[in-house]
Amino acid sequence: MKKILLVASEGVPFIKTGGLADVIGSLPKDIDKRYFDVRIILPKYMCMHSEMVDKLNYVTNFYMDFNWKNVYVGIFQAESDGITYYFIDNESYFGGGRPYGDDPIYEIEKFAFFSKAVLSVLPVIDFRPDIIHCNDWQTGLIPVYLKERFAGGEFYRGIKTIMTIHNLKFQGKWDIKKVREITGLPASYFTPDKLESYTDANLLKGGIVFADAVTTVSPTYAEEIKTNFYGEGLNGILAARANDLRGILNGIDYDEFDPSKDTALTKRYDAINFRKEKGRNKVALQKQLGLEVSEDIMMIGIVSRLTGQKGFDLVAYVMDELCRDKVQIVVLGSGEEQYENMFRHYDWKYNNKVSANIYYSDDLAHKIYGSCDAFLMPSLFEPCGLSQLISLRYGTVPIVRETGGLKDTVEPYNEYESTGTGFSFVNYNAHEMLSTIRYAERIYYDKKREWNKIIDRDMAADFSWKQSAARYQEMYDWLIG
């Protein structure tokens, strides 16, 4: 039995702020339990929902040398969906009202403590993993510490590490002198071939340099991050580690996202009856949002954080032109003020065609996936993207920019061969996006049978965690040997 330890700063169902938590909560469930014993370690945040805290059982505690002090480390344990979770407890680090704070150096201290504590608890819980699978900068020091102060211990000998990058933009950077002081790492570790990056200490870089393998969340993103444009200053080290770098797509939970069982929908549907039932969801949503009620109008959905990364400057540039077409646009999300106000403005200006819902609601998100004809994602960059996977599952045709996971998961429609699962454009250009949307409109209105065949292919695609788990298992096997 091969032992795998997943380590992250958040994980469903205990604590979630973003997509990382979904990965940590979903991936282990589809790893083959006959061959792999997968367990998870998370911080024990005070801000976890009380019903989740009630599931935690105290194991033990000890004191650890950290940042020139003797620091308390508590260990808790819980079971969820047949997976064993461990939690590192220290109220001074994990006692805030939310998982992440705004003070960068305190965050670095907090997760340096977490990284060292993870390695320190392993003999205490009597679990010696073959692989420690680290996720994002918050766990970047684990491969470093494993090769440094834990290297001499018999217990730790031969443990391999994987560093998975979910979003390269966040790296855990601060002044070298201060990070040296906190981590206790010797000066020789803060050089350009190790943790130093452009005169700062960089925890993610440390993880990339010292891990035995590096992954990210789609094959295309794995290629993109080796370039200047996408590399966020780490493209050099990622290119140097190209032989150890691979992209494995995230999946989605096919039980949670299932239009035939989705209680948020007015009419549930599947690949056989969507032609009849899906339009009824559209009518119900039009009534709910005060849009013109017609099953025939093409409805385009957007469920997203409203930030520049997601391509909304392109949308702002052509919104007036787009609203002259026979389309409706339904937006759900919040984020940067300029984009929130932009969508509010067009909601006011084209009230029966645009619905701007500047907040987040799981219920409304499911309704949008289950009611719209198309789904727009014009991202500047997208490591993997989950919304396009959900829209495929719901037969809501994606219109995307060819970047990262969007390029890997949406096959461009070819009307001559009748292939493809969506519509895509290459250049980060507003009118290229607009012409792609209008091409989708033309197929929707003039070639309905072709449009329905695209939906057939969308709903037949498999982007469940089963597929992703199989890729991770291959990598675990390769690394353990």
Please give the Cα distance from 151 to 156 (Å, whole number). 7
Domain boundaries, the chain: 2-251+466-480, 274-462
pLDDT for position 250: 95
CATH architecture, domain defined by 274-462: 3-Layer(aba) Sandwich (3.40)
pLDDT for position 50: 87
The predicted-structure confidence for 364-387, as pLDDT tens digits, reads as follows: 999 999 999 999 999 999 999 999
Q: Model pTM?
A: 0.94
> Does 2-251+466-480 match 274-462 in CATH topology?
yes
The predicted-structure confidence for 235-266, as pLDDT tens digits, reads as follows: 999 999 999 999 999 999 999 999 999 999 99
The CATH number of domain 2-251+466-480, selected from 3.40.50.80, 3.20.20.70, 3.40.50.2000, 3.90.226.10: 3.40.50.2000
Closest CA to 391 of 375, 413, 411: 375
Residue by residue, pLDDT tens for the chain (481 residues) are 999 999 999 999 999 988 899 999 999 999 999 999 999 999 999 999 888 999 999 999 999 999 999 999 999 999 999 999 999 999 999 998 999 999 999 999 999 999 999 999 999 999 999 999 999 999 999 999 999 999 888 999 999 999 999 989 999 999 999 999 999 999 999 999 999 999 999 999 999 999 999 999 999 999 999 999 999 999 999 999 999 999 999 999 999 999 999 999 999 999 999 999 999 999 999 999 999 999 999 999 999 999 999 999 999 999 999 999 999 999 999 999 999 999 999 999 999 999 999 999 999 999 999 999 999 999 999 999 999 999 999 999 999 999 999 999 999 999 999 999 999 999 999 999 999 999 999 999 999 999 999 999 999 999 999 999 999 999 999 999 8
